[in-house]
Amino acid sequence: MKTGFLSLILHAHLPYVRHPEYESFFEENWLFEAITECYIPLIGVLDRLQKDDIAYRFTLSLSPPLITMLRDDLLQARYLKYLHKLIELAEKETLRTQNEAELQKLAQFYLGFFQNTLNVYQNQYGGDIISAFKKHYVLGTLELITCAATHGFLPLLSISETAVRNQINIGVNTFKSHLGFSPKGIWLPECAYYPGVEHFLAEAGLKYFFVDSHGIMDATQTPLNGVYAPLDCGNGVMAFGRDPESSRQVWSSQEGYPGDYDYREYYKDIGFDLDFDYIAPYILDGEIRINTGIKYYRVTGKDLPKELYSPENALAKAKQHAQDFISKRQSQIESLNRSIDRPPLIIAPYDAELFGHWWFEGPHWLEHVLRLASEPGNTVQTLSCSDYLSQQTTHQVATPSASTWGDQGYFSYWINETNDWIYPFLHQAETDMEKLAMDLQRVTLTPLQIRTLNQAARSLLLAQASDWPFIMKSGTTTEYANKRITDHLARFNYLQDSIRKNRINERYLTALEMMDNIFPDIDFKDYNPNKYHD
């Protein structure tokens, strides 16, 4: 008998990395790696569950930049080129390793993996990953939800209501135009909530969002059911709180599943290990070593020589971990049922890109969790938050506290000495955009002027992505993050200057439209704050 609920949510997002001004561009590999290792394997999971007629519910949030990139013809063509190159390398590897049986078996494993990826991507879904997800939505097993337009960090944009409104509304509209229906829920970028954002969510027709555990625990009223039931923010929009235990089992750096010694070691890749001349055609510009995705070793253990990866052992471990996860949820539900006034709901959200990319076996773990939960013998039932809301109609009213799921739980990862310089510029650009929209509200504009203003709004949105301050703090590709935010702000300044001086260079404008071709339906008039006050 099912006595409690489990809602698994994957949040899929990548910043907008599309560079038609270059023949190839390293950061586009972020998308290609995620397609190969995360999104196609995830589709494989959903397809197998469908084939086996498994009853489950699972939620995936798709950010607008990711949706747009997955639907972009340039990136689709470049992805195919990338994949063919990987297949070429895997084929070469099967030859190079012909005298080392165990290594060759792994090379053949990768060759099969990449060939299957190509088959699923090209033959099964015609390059349209979004349609694959939609298929499962239509089947009733997958709930799809949206995210803010460019994954803007809403609390630090909130000095302007218009900025927050546009991030949310454009996120919802982009989702609708690609998926063909309105999302019921939203993943707030970085799980960053501040009291008041629920009013803009309600305006956009959204019913629910997620906060980290302490957002619920520190709500304006003590939560009667802890994080195991949502809070009504007072306007009918529901806040669901992340379960710390489910989170720890996957994320913990010390005891999380992905660190198991049998799992594939992410940091040992042939792009760094093999002879330079041999690997040169498959690395960056033939000069800089990068990850290729072919990794032959397992985590093994701390300070030990790495041992060869065994896919069979790793998959067996993923099944074992899925069983452990479900068992712990059952115990949790049993215990919670004694203390709360309704069937408990366990919210378990994760970054989609953890599954497959960092944790290679993650998709298999997820598949087995969903299979095990579907068995009639256990007490856990998977469901989505909208399913839950249709079953439970009364909720405690309270406002969560400001919080994120980032390091230390608040905003410091996105505003600190490494990235604080961006905020005066972002706020100034937002103010300037709003002023442009207000100044021109009663002016008849030419199509060229409208294009210029719409492109300025795109530049502003792309500058607002939370990814840039995140990268600056993490210290990974900081030069790229600095350049991206500076370029987008410069493009905004240029477009604003063109409008103010009424000197529009159509060739320049077209080049900017070709480079930043996101949000084709954007309307700069939405930046006029008066529009929302009249």
Partner 1 sequence: MKFSLSNFDPQITISTAEILEISQEINRDFSPLLPVKTNNTIYNKNISPQEMLDISETISLNFAPKMSNNQTQLMLLPVDPNHIYAYWNPNKDNSIPMEKNDRPPQELTLRIYSTSPPDAEQNKTSEWQDVIVDNTKFQQSIPLPVIYQHNSYCASLGKREENNNLIPFARSNITAFTFGKTALLDKQDGSTLLLSHNDFVNNHQENVPLLTKSSSGQRFN
Which of positions 88-147 make contact with partner 1 (CB under 8 A)? 88, 91-92, 95, 122, 126-127
**Tokens 């599954």 appear where?**
355
Cβ-based neighbour number of residue 205 at 10 Å: 12
Stretch that binds partner 1, among 15-23, 283-291, 332-340, 388-396 (CB under 8 A): 15-23
Residue 288 makes CB contacts below 8 A (sequence gap 6+) with none
Q: Least CB distance from residue 106 to partner 1, whole Å?
A: 18
Q: Tell me if 526 contacts partner 1 by CB under 8 A.
A: no
Give the tokens for residue 20.
């038609």
- Which residue lies nearer to partner 1 by CB, 188 or 369? 188
From 277, 285, 287, 417, residue interacting with partner 1 (rule: CB under 8 A): 417
- Which residue lies nearer to partner 1 by CB, 215 or 363? 215
- What is the C-alpha separation between 272 and 292, in angstroms, rounded? 9
Distances (CA, A) of 243 to 211, 254, 332: 10, 18, 11
Q: Least CB distance from residue 19 to partner 1, whole Å?
A: 9
Give the tokens for residue 430.
């937002």
Q: Tell me if 397 contacts partner 1 by CB under 8 A.
A: no
Q: Tell me if 494 contacts partner 1 by CB under 8 A.
A: yes
- What is the C-alpha separation between 424 and 435, in angstroms, rounded? 16
Cβ-based neighbour number of residue 31 at 10 Å: 24
Q: Tell me if 523 contacts partner 1 by CB under 8 A.
A: no
- What is the C-alpha separation between 67 and 49, in angstroms, rounded? 23
Q: Least CB distance from residue 257 to partner 1, whole Å?
A: 9
Q: Tell me if 10 contacts partner 1 by CB under 8 A.
A: no
From 161, 245, 307, 324, residue interacting with partner 1 (rule: CB under 8 A): 245
Nearest to 208 by CA among 400, 409, 366: 400
- Which residue lies nearer to partner 1 by CB, 56 or 413? 413
- What is the C-alpha separation between 479 and 492, in angstroms, rounded? 20
Nearest to 216 by CA among 200, 204, 232, 203: 232
Looking at residues 156 to 175 of the shown chain, list those that interact with partner 1 (rule: CB under 8 A): 156, 159
Q: Tell me if 308 contacts partner 1 by CB under 8 A.
A: no
Looking at residues 273 to 292 of the shown chain, list those that interact with partner 1 (rule: CB under 8 A): none
Give the tokens for residue 221.
């009223």
Q: Tell me if 296 contacts partner 1 by CB under 8 A.
A: no
Largest CA distance in the chain: 76
From 47, 273, 513, 523, residue interacting with partner 1 (rule: CB under 8 A): 513
Stretch that binds partner 1, among 134-142, 302-310, 335-343, 407-415 (CB under 8 A): 407-415
DSSP per position, 133-166: HHHHHHHTSEEEEEE-TT-B-HHHHTT-HHHHHH
From 99, 254, 394, 444, residue interacting with partner 1 (rule: CB under 8 A): 254
Q: Tell me if 258 contacts partner 1 by CB under 8 A.
A: yes
Looking at residues 363 to 392 of the shown chain, list those that interact with partner 1 (rule: CB under 8 A): none
- What is the C-alpha separation between 229 and 219, in angstroms, rounded? 13
Q: Where are the beta strands (DSSP E) in 242-386?
A: 345-351, 380-382
From 276, 278, 421, 532, residue interacting with partner 1 (rule: CB under 8 A): 421
Stretch that binds partner 1, among 37-45, 332-340, 377-385, 414-422 (CB under 8 A): 414-422
Query: In this structure, are residues 397 and 231 in contact, taking their beta carbons and an 8 Å threshold?
Result: yes
From 217, 290, 340, 438, residue interacting with partner 1 (rule: CB under 8 A): 217
- Which residue lies nearer to partner 1 by CB, 56 or 79? 79
From 46, 333, 489, 499, residue interacting with partner 1 (rule: CB under 8 A): 489
3-state secondary structure 26-69: CCHHHHHHHHHHHHHHHHHHHHHHHHCCCCCCEEEEECHHHHHH
Q: Tell me if 412 contacts partner 1 by CB under 8 A.
A: yes
- Which residue lies nearer to partner 1 by CB, 50 or 220? 220
Q: Tell me if 457 contacts partner 1 by CB under 8 A.
A: no
Q: Least CB distance from residue 57 to partner 1, whole Å?
A: 23
Stretch that binds partner 1, among 243-251, 304-312, 375-383, 525-533 (CB under 8 A): 243-251
Query: Which one-letter DSSP state was computed for residue 122?
Result: I
Give the tokens for residue 277.
């001349």
- R_g of the chain computed on alpha carbons: 24
From 50, 169, 392, 493, residue interacting with partner 1 (rule: CB under 8 A): 493
Stretch that binds partner 1, among 2-10, 311-319, 333-341, 427-435 (CB under 8 A): 427-435
From 424, 443, 503, 534, residue interacting with partner 1 (rule: CB under 8 A): 424
Q: Least CB distance from residue 404 to partner 1, whole Å?
A: 7
Q: Tell me if 480 contacts partner 1 by CB under 8 A.
A: no
Query: In this structure, are residues 242 and 270 in contact, taking their beta carbons and an 8 Å threshold?
Result: no
Q: Tell me if 191 contacts partner 1 by CB under 8 A.
A: yes
Query: In this structure, are residues 432 and 490 in contact, taking their beta carbons and an 8 Å threshold?
Result: no
> Rounded to 5 degrees, what angle do the CA atoms 15, 19, 20 make?
145
Nearest to 506 by CA among 449, 461, 456, 462: 449
Looking at residues 38 to 67 of the shown chain, list those that interact with partner 1 (rule: CB under 8 A): none
Give the tokens for residue 195.
């009291």
Q: Least CB distance from residue 393 to partner 1, whole Å?
A: 27
# chain residues binding partner 1, by CB under 8 A: 103
Strand 238-241 relative to strand 231-232, pairing: antiparallel
Looking at residues 62 to 81 of the shown chain, list those that interact with partner 1 (rule: CB under 8 A): 71-73, 76-77, 80
Q: Least CB distance from residue 215 to partner 1, whole Å?
A: 7
- Which residue lies nearer to partner 1 by CB, 166 or 401? 401
Q: Tell me if 264 contacts partner 1 by CB under 8 A.
A: no
